[in-house]
Each structure stands twice: as C-alpha cells, then as structure tokens.
Structure 1
Amino acid sequence: MFRLFFDMQKTLIAGLSALVAGALVSGCGKSEDGGSERSYAFLTNGVASFWDICKVGAETAGKDLGVEVSVLMPDGVVQQNQMLEDVVIRGVEGIAISPIDAENQVSAINEAAAKTRLITADSDAPKSDRMFYLGMDNYEAGRMCGQLVKEALPDGGSVMIFMGRLEQDNAKGRRQGLIDELLDRDPDPTRFDPPGQVPKEGKYEILGTLTDQFDRVRGKQNVDDTLSAHPDLGCAVGLFVFNPPLILESLKSAGKLGQVKVVGFDEADETLQGIIDGHVYGTLVQNPYEYGYQSIKVLDALAKGDDSVIPENGFISVPARMIRKDNVEEFWADLNQKLGK
C-alpha cells in the first residue's frame, strides 16, 4: 500500500513539474498579443563598450515586443561566421549583423539570408543578399568628423588616423569621408585612398592610417610611435570607440594632453569626459542603442508579415551627431538614462 502511494505521489509531482516547465517555455519569448514564440539574433563585429550600448537597445526591444533576443559578440571574422551559422541552425526568425569583412563574407551572409530574414546594421555588406542596411551613412559621418578636425585645427596641420580595422565597410566609408573633407574634395563615396598614400592638399597633411585589429596594446603603441616620430603632430583622430581613450592614455604618458588636438568617434566614457576636461575637441557619435532597438523592431515586423518596413532604397538611416563641449553633458545624461545608470 505504501509502495502504491509512493508511486502515485511521484507521478503527480512529475506531472506538475511538466506543467510548470511547459508554462515557462511557452511564456518565454511570446509576444504580448499572444503570438507564437519568436527569437532574433544580433551579431556585432567585436567586443567594445559601443556594443554594450547596442545590446541594451536590442534587449529592451525584446522586452517591449515579448520576443527572445540574443546579442553575440565575436572576436574575429571566423568566430562571427560560426556564430552566424549557429543561430541559423537554432532557427531564429531574423538576424542583424555588422559584418567584419563584408567583401569576404558574402557567401556566409548569403547562406544565412537564404534560410532566414537577415539585415545588416552598423556596417553594410552591399554585395550580399541582405534585405537592407540599418545605420548611418558612414561616408557622410566621416565628412562630419572631418569638419570637427577643421574646427579643432583651423589653421591646418598634420593629422594621423587611428582605427581598429579597415576591412569593414563602415570603416572604409568613415575614413574616406574624413580624408575627402580635410582635402576639400567633392563627395565621392566610391573613392579609396590606400593607407600611407594619401596626398597633401591644402593646409592639412594626413600622415597615414594605423590599424590595431582591436588589439588595445597595439592601438596604444601606434599612438606612442606616432608621437615619437611626429613630435609636432597637430591632431590625432580615433575612428573606433576604443581609439580616442587610447590616444588620451598615450598623450597623458607623453605629457602632451592639450598640446595635440583629439577628435574621436563614438561615445566611450573616457572620450566624453575628455571633452568635458578640454582634452578632446569633439566626437562623432552614432546611435548604437537605436541600432539594437530598431533592428529587432523591424525584424519582428517582418516576421509578422509587415513588409512595409523594407525601405525602397535599401537603407534605414539612423543619423550621426557631433558632440562638443556645449552639448556633451546633455548627451551623456540621456545615454546614461537609456542604460539605466
């Protein structure tokens, strides 16, 4: 009798556990309107504070829409391709990706795009089968960055460009826009000046472009070497989120804070504090929070059959902004509010 009671109790507990587990699974990732479970993935092009902001935006969209969101941060193109393959196998409803090497990732992106909805965000892969690109016009943003350099160095001078990598579509665009603006050229997004072969035109001399492949030690060394080779450097420009902080670190070690003008890209805390302290003239910011939020929002709309979100020109613009001393504190306060700080 006791044995029978024990077996019945085990069966009852197992049944209740199954019901609870089923309820948890069915509730996770469900839309607020009771739709089927949907999941999405956002693949960044690296690990940086910029992407931490994007992650908050994407996850906030997931909560607002009642869907599951995964934000994956690779440390290189091989890992990004593997992540892309993995999320496709997992059966996500849509993917947003910032390609690391667009030219050489067309095949991998096309394979994923053939099996699920895929858009590019932050950096484009225009030769791929992606549905559209969401982000800013990086060439125009580069020209805006060039305008900041002109303001910081109105009488002209030497400029060195520091950046993570040049393989990315966005990196090429912003670098070329910066160069064309400084040399007062007519706009031409298809132009490309090879690193180390940029001519001097007018009052600005571009000494070169140094990349670090996301290696912070190498990035700082690039600045150290430049300061040694060019003691009269006029302006250091950092085109990736971590470059301006590395520039500041190097300038501080060399006792040259305030002597060399600094213009940055993105909104690292050190860069924003540098503007407040007067060590950075300004920075050109994107909107990584909206990159994350809007990417998940449009992918979810597509999953629901709303094709009206597809832009006719293949581009959803999230405009860039210039941040200087007059608006940095307002910008930073708004950013911290979004991040829950």
Structure 2
Amino acid sequence: MKKLTLLVAAAALALGAGPALAKKQLVIVVKGLDNPFFEAINQGCQKWNSENADSEYECFYTGPASTSDEAGEAQIVQDMLGKADTVAMAISPSNAKLIAQTLKVAAPTIPIMTIDADLAAEDSALRKTYLGTDNYLMGKKIGEYIKKAKPDGGTVCSIQGNPGADNILRRAQGMRDALSGQEGLGALAGEGGWTEVAGCPVFTNDDGAKGVQAMTDILAANPDLDAFGIMGGWPLFGAPQPYRDLMRPLAERIASNDFVVGAADTIGDEVAIAGEGLVTALVGQRPFEMGYKAPSVMIDLIEGKTVEDPVFTGLDECTKDTVDTCIQK
C-alpha cells in the first residue's frame, strides 16, 4: 500500500499536481498599522482577495507599527522591493521626500504607484499613478465650510500630521486658498480676513491624543480663537472622548457658528461626533475603496494597460443635519 501511495504521488507530481505555487504579491505599504484609516484600506485589500481567490495575484498589506516611523516605512519599501514575489507596489508615503529617495536608490523595475498620499510633484515620475483623495480639494472644502460659517474672517489654527506628508500639505494649502481667496499663500496673516495664530500649524504625527492636547493648548493661549482646520481626523477618531470633553463647552458657540471646526475624515466616532454638534463639518475620504481598487490598478500597470493619473476616489461631506445620509455606501 505504501509503495502504491508513493507511485500515485510521483504521478501527480509528473502531471503538475504538486504543491501550490506562491501567489504574486501586489503590495500596499501604508504609513502605519496603528491608524484606523489604514485598517480600512486593509479591509478593501482583503475584500479584493476574497473575491479573487483563484487569481495568480494576492493583495499584501503592510507598514510600520506606528505612523510616526517614517524610516521604518522606507525600510519596508526597500525590503519588499527586494522580494522576488513582489510584482507591483502601492505606497502611502509618510515622508514624501524620504520615500522618493528610497525609490531612486532601489531603482525598482516593477510598477510603483502611490495610494492615499502622493510624492511631491517633482518626484511624480517615480510612480505610475496616484490612487486616492483629491487632497487639495478636500482641504479647500474644509476651508469653504469655515469661511461660510464666518464670512468676515477671524483667527484659525490648522492641526496637521507628519510635516513631510504630501497629502496633508496639499489639504492645508487648499484650506488656506479657500479662506484667503488667493492661491499658493503660506501661513495666513490677514488675507481674506484670516490670520493663523502663533504656534500653528501644529504637527501631531497622526496621533489623536497629541492632536487633542495641541488643541487644548492653542485654546488656552488663544481664548478668542475662531476656528480649527483639522487636516486629518486623528483627534476625533483617535481620541474621541478627550475630543468630546474639549468641545462640549464650546457646543453652543459651534451651533451658532461663533466657533468653527472643519475636519477631515468620516471614520470611527467622527460621524457620531458630527451628530452631537461638536464639529461644524467633516469632509471624508473613502479608504476602503482605495484598498479595494489598488490591486486592480496594479494589475493593469503590470499588463501595460493605460491607467489614468490621478485616480480619485471621491469625498463625503457630513454636518449635523446630514449624518444619516452623508456616507456613500
């Protein structure tokens, strides 16, 4: 019997029925695994895998443990590029310049795209396309909500993430352009009636608790502050209860547009917070859609198909009055 079993196994191997070959990896590298926004990208990636179980390709999601580990992300990019089964890569650069330098040194021969965050314009030739949010438009919409609430202007502070993240910088520029009515200005000093207070923007490395603490400190130093522009939803989804505790005393001012909070994203507790009237408006992204679309875009690039650049995934806008219908399903 044992001899027969060995003969059957040998025949099966001869017919090509040996162990399954490893799948080709479509790698997504995000800024950090500790951020719920990126977990939504992962869920989209895994949804693609479940729907394409018979494919020769597999979506592989990875990144450093923390969004503050810019060097760790660059190292992961380098390591994954060195693996034979990596056939395409989508990167969300935490530090656009560092990732660009990593790609220049590695000189990859596989298709590279960016997702969620892009490289700086001067480095765009290093990737084939960008998939994700129109970050300038997102920031501009946040600025428009702030300006609509206080058309005569006032003082504002922007809460930002990593200082080298291109997507956050584009959002901040969009907000400034909307508030000032001009394009390309740096920190506002009265343009359009708006002035950015001392100590702002505040960079929090995508840390929700740091974001709430920064807002607390700015309010203490500027009790007459008129508005916050939060370029990523970290204080709301990363530290929802501390955020609520900070904003509840300002609820009446928010309701009357005496104080304005425009914030990015619509994940975690954010929509509930909008329903509670503790933020003026949210402008949300679609991270699940990014993760779900990325493998197909990478396959198109591998196959030499024409892919648009950029590929935008749209925005959702939520206020207290629209929380029941503001998210695209």
Aligned twin of 2:222 = 230
Q: 1:15 to 1:218 in 2, by over 3 A?
A: farther
What is the 5 A alignment of 1:112-151? 112=106, 114-125=108-119, 126=121, 127=123, 128-151=125-148
- In 1, are the aligned partners of 2:230 and 2:264 still within 8 Å (CA)? yes
CA distance in 1, matches of 2:89, 2:107: 9
Displacement of 1:14 in angstroms is 9.2
Alignment partner of 1:42 is 2:40? no
Q: 1:232 to 1:57 in 2, by over 3 A?
A: same
Q: 1:264 to 1:23 in 2, by over 3 A?
A: farther
Displacement of 1:307 in angstroms is 1.5
Aligned twin of 2:256 = none
In the alignment, which of 206, 209, 213 is matched to residue 221 of structure 1? 213
| Bigger Cα displacement from structure 2, 59-68 vs 267-276 | 59-68
Q: 1:293 to 1:23 in 2, by over 3 A?
A: farther
Alignment partner of 1:276 is 2:266? no
Aligned twin of 2:192 = 202
Displacement of 1:69 in angstroms is 1.5
Displacement of 1:82 in angstroms is 1.4
Q: 1:296 to 1:110 in 2, by over 3 A?
A: farther
Displacement of 1:25 in angstroms is 3.0
Displacement of 1:225 in angstroms is 0.5
| Equivalent position SS for 1:90 | coil
Alignment partner of 1:94 is 2:94? no
Instruction: Name the aligned partner's letter for residue 110 of structure 1.
Output: K
- In 1, are the aligned partners of 2:284 and 2:315 still within 8 Å (CA)? yes
In the alignment, which of 290, 298, 318 is matched to residue 313 of structure 2? 318
In the alignment, which of 325, 329, 340 is matched to residue 324 of structure 2? 329
Aligned twin of 2:233 = 241
| Equivalent position SS for 1:269 | coil
Instruction: Name the aligned partner's letter for residue 43 of structure 1.
Output: V
What is the 5 A alignment of 1:129-208? 129-185=126-182, 187=183, 191=184, 193=186, 197-207=187-197, 208=200
Alignment partner of 1:63 is 2:50? yes
Displacement of 1:118 in angstroms is 0.7
CA distance in 2, matches of 1:198, 1:171: 17
Displacement of 1:142 in angstroms is 1.2
Aligned twin of 1:338 = none
CA distance in 1, matches of 2:247, 2:28: 40
Q: 1:325 to 1:255 in 2, by over 3 A?
A: closer
Aligned twin of 1:32 = none
Displacement of 1:306 in angstroms is 4.2
What TM-score do you get using the length of structure 2 for normalisation?
Answer: 0.82
- In 2, are the aligned partners of 1:84 and 1:112 still within 8 Å (CA)? no
CA distance in 2, matches of 1:13, 1:241: 59
**Contiguous gaps of at least 5 residues in structure 1:** 29-36, 335-341
**Contiguous gaps of at least 5 residues in structure 2:** 254-258
- In 2, are the aligned partners of 1:99 and 1:124 still within 8 Å (CA)? yes
Instruction: Name the aligned partner's letter for residue 307 of structure 1.
Output: K
- C-alpha deviations, 1:278-311, integer Å up to 9, x for none? 11111111111121122111112233x2412x22
- In 2, are the aligned partners of 1:261 and 1:279 still within 8 Å (CA)? no
Q: 1:115 to 1:231 in 2, by over 3 A?
A: same
CA distance in 2, matches of 1:251, 1:157: 23
- In 2, are the aligned partners of 1:242 and 1:268 still within 8 Å (CA)? no
Alignment partner of 1:256 is 2:249? yes
Displacement of 1:270 in angstroms is 2.0
Aligned twin of 2:100 = 106
Q: 1:291 to 1:154 in 2, by over 3 A?
A: same
| Equivalent position SS for 1:124 | coil
Instruction: Name the aligned partner's letter for residue 115 of structure 1.
Output: T
Aligned twin of 2:265 = 266
- In 2, are the aligned partners of 1:285 and 1:320 still within 8 Å (CA)? yes
Displacement of 1:206 in angstroms is 2.2
What TM-score do you get using the length of structure 1 for normalisation?
Answer: 0.79
| Bigger Cα displacement from structure 2, 254-263 vs 138-147 | 254-263
CA distance in 2, matches of 1:292, 1:180: 30
Aligned twin of 1:79 = 72
CA distance in 2, matches of 1:96, 1:112: 15
Aligned twin of 1:51 = 38
RMSD (Å), alpha carbons: 3.0
| Equivalent position SS for 1:202 | helix
CA distance in 2, matches of 1:211, 1:58: 29
- In 2, are the aligned partners of 1:244 and 1:263 still within 8 Å (CA)? no
- C-alpha deviations, 1:221-270, integer Å up to 9, x for none? 21111111111222222111213355872462475241343211011222
CA distance in 1, matches of 2:272, 2:180: 30
| Equivalent position SS for 1:144 | helix
- In 1, are the aligned partners of 2:28 and 2:89 still within 8 Å (CA)? yes
CA distance in 2, matches of 1:299, 1:159: 40
In the alignment, which of 20, 27, 36 is matched to residue 25 of structure 1? 20
